[in-house]
Amino acid sequence: MNDVNLKADMLQAMRRLAKSVTIISTSNGAERFAMAATAVDSLSTEPPSLLICVNKTASPHAALATGAGFCVNILGVEQQELAHLCSGAIKGEARFGSGNWLTSAEGIPYLADAQSAILCRQDGHFSYGTHTVFIGRIVQIHTSAMITPLVYLDGSYTTTAKPTPSLAAAG
């Protein structure tokens, strides 16, 4: 199989992989950046860490490449419009025009009403193909009481659950 066919087949296969929708947010100290992403995963619980994969052409990449901390904002179904805003033609500070955005003590923007906002100190990165994989050591987490995940599947937004209180947030 040639690379062109393999790429097309991979894209079709990935449309079948349901993933939670997040907004990756960061700052270079002078500007804030945000992008919608599904290429996020947990890495380890010792130390608590996760990884994000960011295209080298994405606006937050330059800040992240210099070692900036970041936040993984896990979106709820009610935040679908924010996902559109952070993946469309609107760029820069305009992406922060909607939503309840706050700034951590370290200067990282985070979405106060996200399902979870996971603040990370960058703990390394490496380049692979068109993307860079950034490792984040978790320093703080803000979690909401409701679980209403926004999921991306087959080119569309959906959800997997009706609103239910989180056991962790209720306790």
Q: Which single residue is written with the structure tokens 């380049």?
A: 127
Calpha distance 65→80 (Å, rounded):
28
Both tokens of 140, joined, read 């703080």
Predicted confidence (pLDDT) at residue 170 exceeds the cutoff of 70: no
Q: What is the 3-state secondary structure (H, E, C) of 27-87?
A: ECCCCEEEEEECCEEEEEECCEEEEEEEECCCCCHHHHHCCCCEEEEECEHHHHHHHHHCC
Of 118, 125, 131, the C-alpha closest to 53 is: 131
99: left (phi over 0), alpha (psi -120 to 50) or beta: left
pLDDT at res. 157: 86
Mean pLDDT of 28-35: 96
Q: Does the domain formed by 17-154+164-170 have CATH 2.30.110.10?
A: yes
162, pLDDT greater than 80: no
The three-state secondary structure class of 89 is coil
pLDDT (tens digit per residue) in 90-106: 889 999 999 999 999 99
Would the pLDDT of 63 be above 70?
Answer: yes
Scan for tokens 């009610």, then name that residue: 78
Return the pLDDT at 146.
84
Among 49-53, 125-129, 142-146, the range scoring the smallest mean pLDDT is 142-146
Residue 73 scores a pLDDT above 50? yes
